[in-house]
Amino acid sequence: MSTVQEILNVMGQIENGVFSVNFFLCSLSILINCFHLIIITRKSMRTSSINVLMIGIAVCDLCSMFVSIYKYFMLVDRENPECITSDNLFKVYMDVTAWSFQYQFRRCSCWLGIVMATVRYVIMRRMSDVRHAKLAEPKVGFIIIAIVFFSSLLLTITWQFECEVIENRNYSLALNCAEHQNINSNPKFSLILRHASNIANVIIVRTYFILDATVSNFIPCFAFPTLTFLLLREIQKIKEAREQLRRNSVTEDNEEKYGLTTKLIVFLTVTFFMSEAPLGIIATVKTFLDRSDNRFRLSTDLIIYFTILVTINSILHPIFCILMSSQYRETVRSLFGVKRKTSTIFCGPQLSAVSTQFVQMT
């Protein structure tokens, strides 16, 4: 027995447990991100394009988690879209749509993270430039979300067009479907890729999958570490300039008027990279493997393990916001009626005063 087959056997034994763990994390992510969305959409937070982009990321994360839960309960094979089968035509279309939604919102979340870091970097580079400062306006965030969503939608629609539902299939399913169902069962409805009638169509289909893997996964693999490096370098430059000029031109409060703090965005960028890079590598490798190859099956089985990282990443976004953004914390306090008050303590006959802060529940 080959080493790859041995690994597949071990992974097959623990697969259900891994899916259960991801289901639990998805449920937790939905609860946390619903709260996060309530906070980030409040008027006091919708003051910059960066914060608006965080709204888009939160919505994408929520939709992805709901799709994962649907797949957990409704799909026989949660790893291979080409293995969709059912005796109910509506169910097949629902399953195909679920896969499309997953591709769409995962891709959007990833690219919104890239754009958010890019916008932050441009603003930091040219804070005194009015033209670049306009990038911080909330309406810019909504425009960027629309551009990313509809650009991603083109790839999603193309993928959905490549899928064809057939009735009374008279030949077996793909070999990679054998792990979860009988490939010779001849289901009433099943899914196939549209038949490529000539070499030109084959090239078009292959080009699409390579383009999808490149845009959805491969480019982000390089974009996230590059942006992390650039942001850290700008932070260092600002620190040095502040020390030399002896002025607080970029304090935390001043920085947050452009949205979430730069350090927070760096953390978000790093977590995006850690969760998306492995999936990008796997998606690119799978493009060049035959579906009957054990290495293709191994790559597919590995996806669920790295999908857990994506789920954890969606949980970490609100946590990082609470820990690293004073604006976010103030909005949370306001939501729960917790206010900061200033008490004045008079010392002696001279009306000198010392201000102290305390938290009062209302």
Task: Calculate mean pLDDT across residues 68-76.
Answer: 91
Radius of gyration (Cα) for the chain, nearest Å?
25
Residue 63 — pLDDT band, cuts 50, 70, 90? very high
* DSSP characters over 234-245: HHHHHHHHHHHH
Contact predicate 112/145, CB 8 Å: yes
Specify whether domain 3-324 bears CATH 3.30.70.100.
no
The one-letter amino acid code at 346 reads: F
Q: Coil, strand or helix: which one is 163?
A: strand
**What is the predicted pLDDT for the residue at 284?**
73
Residue whose C-alpha is closest to residue 126's, from 270, 261, 258: 258
Residues with Cβ within 8 Å of residue 298, at least 6 apart in sequence: 4, 7, 8, 11
Q: pLDDT, tens digit, for every residue of 153-196?
A: 988 888 887 788 888 888 888 777 877 788 888 888 988 876 65
Q: What is the mean pLDDT of residues 292-313?
A: 82
Cβ atoms of 213 and 284 closer than 8 Å: yes
Name the range with the highest mean pLDDT among 121-130, 219-228, 305-314.
305-314
Q: How confident is the model at residue 115 (pLDDT cuts 50, 70, 90)?
A: very high
Rounded-to-integer distance, Cα 313 and Cα 307, Å: 10
Most trustworthy range by pLDDT among 19-23, 79-83, 252-256, 303-307: 19-23
Q: For the whole model, what pTM was predicted?
A: 0.81
Mean per-residue pLDDT, 73-79: 86
Pick from 127-141, 222-236, 308-322: least confident:
127-141
| Percent of the chain with pLDDT strictly greater than 90 | 24
Q: How confident is the model at residue 82 (pLDDT cuts 50, 70, 90)?
A: confident
* Residue indicated by tokens 């609100």: 318
Instruction: Tabulate helix, strand, coil % of the chain (nearest 5).
Output: 70, 10, 20
Q: Report domain extents, the chain.
A: 3-324
At 198, the pLDDT band (50, 70, 90 cuts) reads low
pLDDT digits (tens, 9 = 90+) for 237-255: 777 776 776 555 444 444 4
